[in-house]
Amino acid sequence: MFLSPASPARRILAFSEPVDMRKSFRGLIAIVQNTLEEDPLDESLYVFFNRR
């Protein structure tokens, strides 16, 4: 799901630990579900950072 200007994010959540950006969408979804304990489809925007 991609956000458009017509559908702004309800919340913006940033994962504070470095993430391997080679992960697939499924890997990032697993972080959202298991570590952040959030629903990846709840209209929030999730931000991930690489080590650099």
The model's pTM is 0.74
Give the per-residue pLDDT at 21: 86
Count of all residues that appear for the chain in the document = 52
- Write out pLDDT tens, residues 2-52: 555 666 778 999 998 999 988 889 999 999 999 999 999 988 999 999 887
Residue 8 CA to residue 6 CA, distance in Å, equals 6
What Rg, from alpha-carbon coordinates, does the chain have? 11
Q: What is the DSSP string of 4-31?
A: -TTS--S-EEEEEEE--TT--HHHHHHI
